[in-house]
A and B are shown apart, each in its own frame.
Chain A
Amino acid sequence: MADLGSITMLLAIALAVYAGIGSLVGQWRHAPDLLASARYAAYLTPLMLVTAMLVLVAAFVDHDFSLRYVAGNSNRAMDPWLTWVAFYAGNEGSLLFIAAIFSGAAALAIRLAPDEVRPALPFTTAVLMGVTVFFTGIMMTMANPFYELPVTPPDGQGINPLLTHPGMFFHPPMLMSGLVGVGLPFAFAIGHLLAGQTGDEWVDTARTWGLVVWATLTVGLLLGAWWAYTILGWGGYWAWDPVENAGLLPWLPLTAFVHSIMVQKRRGMFRMWNIALIILAWGFAMYGMFMNRGGPVPSVHSFGQSTMGWVFLIFLAVNLIGAFAVFFWRYERLKSAAPLESRLSREAAFLLNNVLFLMVALVVLWGVVYPLVTDVFQGVIVTVGQPYFDIVAGPLFLALVALMGVGPLLPWRRASASGTMRLLRFPIIVGIIVAVIAVALGARAVLPALAFGVCGLAAAGVLREWVKGTQVRHTRGEGWPTAFGRLIMSNRPRYGGYIAHLGIVLLAFAATGSSFYSVQEDFSLAPGERAALGSYEVEFLGSSSTPRPDRIERRAVVQVYKDGQPLEQLQAGFAFYPAFSMAATRAGIRQTPVEDLYVLASEFTPDGRALFRVHINPLVVWLWIAGPIMVLGTVVSLWPERQRAAAALPAMRAMRAVRATG
């Protein structure tokens, strides 16, 4: 079986190299046959890599410890369900997953490429294949998952305890796909630059892939937050940890990109800027993968420590230098098709959005690299943690949410000052009212009141557009629901975007509530004792200790009371893994729309007492609700428009006919 894995990996890299070189040579020699065969090689590459991946999964499920990687990341004692996903617990399997998912997406992107990107497709294919070759090559030379041990050990070493969570099924694949996926819009951008197609041909395709990747990365990050919340056991979901930052960094320019690409789509502007943005996003995405795969900064998330980091850094440098070299080579041709008519226009709002997103990315990056700066200049590695990021990035995020309420209301090209005031009057009034109510309800500090007000402003901006648009349709004789549905469908990129914006408002709302109003307290309780926090009481009923093959599960059962009324029982505890001398926490969480009661049991003393930490975390559930809303918004945004599909159909048929005869 391992041989099958090695062979398919070899075939995959050979096919990808052939597809990349073949498409360049085919383009150079004007050889349509060679181009077609290169394309088919690109379609076959993911088949090979997926086969290799399945072989690896089978090896994990079968406990084939003759493979070094399987022996190092699993054992017989682990839960059977976990063996299905344990293959991306370390570097080798993660790289295989990344290579397989990227080559699959690349094949799909090549197959689905619409007519307007076909002239540049050979170059795009070459870039896509270059990335595939890199990941497959680094895996084969430095982290081969199919390396066979000379002697098969009787049992493996087991999986990192922190990975033993149902989130393992979703978070790593989503995050890895989201990070490497940035390579798709990047490849279209660079491919078109190389081909000299410096107009707007690449825009629709890059926007589509950009949004798909954006949604994937967003969900990946949220799942990571959810995972941290339920298993890392410190009561929070985001700690500005170096690896979390590495996931956030590409998200920022990517978000800027999916916004500013709309300006190019609609108005033919920002051509240079969009290319620069996607190059930056790809640079950060590679940095993110580098940090996840054995980065130099200590973190709770960096599971695969290795020397591979250097190879990643070199690849990152080559990509950035190469991409910007091509960019400056084509610089002269990348002029906007239209001037910016006014600073009070939607184009200008998009520019401000981009500047703010880049600023967040830069201040986060600065916080990440600053310890290296002090190391060099002062000989001491300082910590740059949550206080820094909260203070410098918080206001920028707040400004972005405010802009989200204002920008979409502005018309394209230019707006008059008086018209703008009329447009913005309503959201601003709502924002002020919300802030005042927040203060009246006991928001003691300026910042949370301001943040809630800004959330109100942004939500009101979106609602205003929906209500107005629906009303106009209603006055033309459509029923309210029909009017609303048709409004959304009339301009999907726009109204899908609004849905995603509402998701962001929810995120901001939840983040404000939980970061300013969380309460926590530690208690040491004997069985039968009660402790009170706020309007809650928890009663320690008793604890249990269950030995499992690979771990000991300690569990405390607590009865929750609110205002003296008994509610449900929660289980809180941890699983201790002797092989790793590590514990994985399992928090007991009672989730309501208002707040979470979050109970941790961190220690059990011999006299039967248990050490509890109880949190009340307001509004956290809205974080998890925001995710599906943003995905819905992306889907609406990308839903194909009928006219365009109808127009594309004859063209596609013609293409097929040409291909069949030629």
Chain B
Amino acid sequence: MPYDTRCARQAPAPGAMTHVASVRRLAAASLASSAAALALLACTTAVSPLPESEQRAQAIDNSLICPICPGETIDRSQVQLAKDMQVIVRELIAEGRSDEEILQFFVDRYGERVLAAPPREGFHWLVWGLPPAGMALGLLALFWVTQLMGRRPTEAQDSTLRQAQGERGDADLSPYLQQVERELGDGGPSDEWRGSRLRGNDGLEEDA
């Protein structure tokens, strides 16, 4: 069987050994890099956080739009009104009001458009609800489409299929490819290696 000799020629004899060694080296490399990345983070999370009330105040600053400079939150805006609103936010927090009450305080005075995003209630469920609903629909559609696409091709399409594969140069290989995939599916000690080998140089797909 041609494909067998091919693999045998390229596979090192003690496949399992290489496999273990490679996994170890791989694990080491990846752990080293992720550790390096996280070391970066470690340095920065050491920053002592602000008092909780100030954190809350900043979060509220970022949920309120400055009424006279469209699109900018009162945290970002440089105008006096925004700065006054920031002071009010801190005063209301000091009075012990909850975040919702403080937001409502400003909505009562400036209307709903003072909020950086619509509240999750009433009509505005439309803006919050549609994305998850759309995602669910999208996944359903994906399921349905994959079902449709997975149907056995008709006679006519089958010939285009063969033709298309012929253009890609693997028509004569396809029985072997199928066999490889069957055996890969059964699983063996070194099939992971073989799988990555086959895809690694992509020779079977690439050669035009």
Complex: how many Å from CA A475 to CA B14?
A: 12
Once the chains bind, are B45 and A443 in contact (CB under 8 Å)?
Answer: yes
Complex: how many Å from CA A426 to CA B192?
A: 12
- Given that A337-B161, A370-B127, A416-B185 are known contacts, is A351 also in contact with B142, CB under 8 Å in the complex? yes
Interface residues of A in 521-579 (CB under 8 A from B): 521, 533-535
Which A residues are CB-close (under 8 A) to B44? 513, 517, 594-595, 616, 618-619
Complex: how many Å from CA A384 to CA B26?
A: 45
Instruction: Tell me if A385 counts as interface (CB < 8 A to partner B).
Output: yes
Once the chains bind, are A378 and B123 in contact (CB under 8 Å)?
Answer: yes
Instruction: Tell me if B20 counts as interface (CB < 8 A to partner A).
Output: no
Interface bracket on A? 35 or more
Complex: how many Å from CA A467 to CA B138?
A: 35
Once the chains bind, are B149 and A381 in contact (CB under 8 Å)?
Answer: no
Q: Give the residue name and chain of the B residue nearest to A613 (CB).
A: B75
Instruction: Tell me if A54 counts as interface (CB < 8 A to partner B).
Output: no
Complex: how many Å from CA A388 to CA B116?
A: 8
Complex: how many Å from CA A380 to CA B113?
A: 8
Which B residues are CB-close (under 8 A) to A382? 112-113, 115, 118, 124
Residue with the highest number of chain A CB atoms closer than 10 Å, among B23, B44, B75, B112: B44
Query: Which of A418, A459, A487 is within 8 Å of B30, CB to CB?
Result: A459
Once the chains bind, are A426 and B23 in contact (CB under 8 Å)?
Answer: yes
Once the chains bind, are B35 and A437 in contact (CB under 8 Å)?
Answer: yes
- Given that A382-B112, A383-B113, A467-B22 are known contacts, is A299 also in contact with B193, CB under 8 Å in the complex? no
Q: Report the number of A-B residue pairs with Cβ-Cβ less than 8 Å.
A: 266
Complex: how many Å from CA A429 to CA B111?
A: 49
B 18-55 to A, binary, CB cutoff 8 A, 1 in contact else 0: 10001101110111011101101111111111100010
Complex: how many Å from CA A359 to CA B134?
A: 7
Residue with the highest number of chain B CB atoms closer than 10 Å, among A339, A373, A383, A513: A383
CB distance from A561 to the nearest CB of B (A): 14
Once the chains bind, are B131 and A392 in contact (CB under 8 Å)?
Answer: yes
Interface residues of B in 166-208 (CB under 8 A from A): 168, 181, 184-187, 191-193, 195-202, 205-206, 208
Once the chains bind, are A266 and B168 in contact (CB under 8 Å)?
Answer: yes
Instruction: Tell me if A456 counts as interface (CB < 8 A to partner B).
Output: yes
A 597-627 to B, binary, CB cutoff 8 A, 1 in contact else 0: 0000010000000000000101100000000
Once the chains bind, are A464 and B12 in contact (CB under 8 Å)?
Answer: no
Residue with the highest number of chain A CB atoms closer than 10 Å, among B29, B37, B42, B46: B37
Once the chains bind, are B192 and A423 in contact (CB under 8 Å)?
Answer: yes
Once the chains bind, are B49 and A463 in contact (CB under 8 Å)?
Answer: no
Which B residues are CB-close (under 8 A) to A114? none
Once the chains bind, are A418 and B187 in contact (CB under 8 Å)?
Answer: yes
Instruction: Tell me if B160 counts as interface (CB < 8 A to partner A).
Output: yes
Complex: how many Å from CA A355 to CA B141?
A: 9
Residue with the highest number of chain B CB atoms closer than 10 Å, among A411, A455, A593: A411
- Given that A337-B157, A387-B63 are known contacts, is A380 also in contact with B45, CB under 8 Å in the complex? no
CB distance from A115 to the nearest CB of B (A): 14
Once the chains bind, are A491 and B202 in contact (CB under 8 Å)?
Answer: yes
Which B residues are CB-close (under 8 A) to A521? 50, 54
Complex: how many Å from CA A528 to CA B18?
A: 64
Which A residues are CB-close (under 8 A) to B157? 335-337, 339
Once the chains bind, are A359 and B149 in contact (CB under 8 Å)?
Answer: no
Once the chains bind, are A520 and B58 in contact (CB under 8 Å)?
Answer: yes
Instruction: Tell me if A315 counts as interface (CB < 8 A to partner B).
Output: no
CB distance from B196 to the nearest CB of A (A): 4
Once the chains bind, are A441 and B138 in contact (CB under 8 Å)?
Answer: no
Instruction: Tell me if B71 counts as interface (CB < 8 A to partner A).
Output: yes
- Given that A416-B184, A434-B38, A442-B45 are known contacts, is A411 also in contact with B195, CB under 8 Å in the complex? yes
- Given that A300-B72, A423-B192 are known contacts, is A459 also in contact with B185, CB under 8 Å in the complex? no
B 152-169 to A, binary, CB cutoff 8 A, 1 in contact else 0: 110001001101110010
Which A residues are CB-close (under 8 A) to B206? 490-491
Once the chains bind, are B138 and A438 in contact (CB under 8 Å)?
Answer: no
Q: Give the residue name and chain of the B residue nearest to A234 (CB).
A: B76
CB distance from B98 to the nearest CB of A (A): 17
Query: Which of A300, A351, A602 is within 8 Å of B71, CB to CB?
Result: A300
Once the chains bind, are A383 and B117 in contact (CB under 8 Å)?
Answer: yes
Instruction: Tell me if B139 counts as interface (CB < 8 A to partner A).
Output: yes
Q: Give the residue name and chain of the A residue nearest to B18 (CB).
A: A475
Complex: how many Å from CA A99 to CA B1?
A: 60
- Given that A335-B157, A416-B185, A619-B40 are known contacts, is A359 also in contact with B138, CB under 8 Å in the complex? yes
CB distance from A431 to the nearest CB of B (A): 9
Complex: how many Å from CA A472 to CA B111?
A: 65
Query: Which of B37, B118, B142 is within 8 Å of A509, CB to CB?
Result: B37
Q: Give the residue name and chain of the B residue nearest to A408 (CB).
A: B199
Query: Which of B75, B181, B192 is within 8 Å of A413, CB to CB?
Result: B181
Complex: how many Å from CA A336 to CA B75?
A: 52
Interface residues of A in 399-446 (CB under 8 A from B): 411-414, 416, 418-419, 422-423, 426, 430, 433-434, 437-438, 441-443
B 119-146 to A, binary, CB cutoff 8 A, 1 in contact else 0: 0000110111011101100110110011
Q: Give the residue name and chain of the A residue nearest to B27 (CB).
A: A426
Q: Chain B interface: which of A17-25, A60-68, A361-369, A631-639?
A: A361-369
Instruction: Tell me if A126 counts as interface (CB < 8 A to partner B).
Output: no
Once the chains bind, are B149 and A355 in contact (CB under 8 Å)?
Answer: no
Complex: how many Å from CA A456 to CA B35?
A: 10
Given contacts A382-B112, A382-B113, 19 further A-B contacts (CB under 8 A): A234-B75, A241-B71, A337-B164, A338-B164, A339-B152, A339-B157, A355-B139, A358-B138, A374-B124, A385-B73, A388-B118, A419-B185, A422-B191, A423-B192, A426-B30, A468-B193, A534-B46, A535-B48, A616-B44
Could you list some 15 contacts between A and B, CB below 8 A?
A200-B164, A299-B71, A337-B160, A339-B150, A348-B146, A351-B142, A359-B138, A382-B118, A396-B135, A416-B185, A426-B30, A468-B200, A491-B202, A513-B44, A616-B47
List of 4 A-B pairs having minimum Cβ-Cβ separation, nearest first = A534-B47, A416-B185, A337-B164, A340-B149
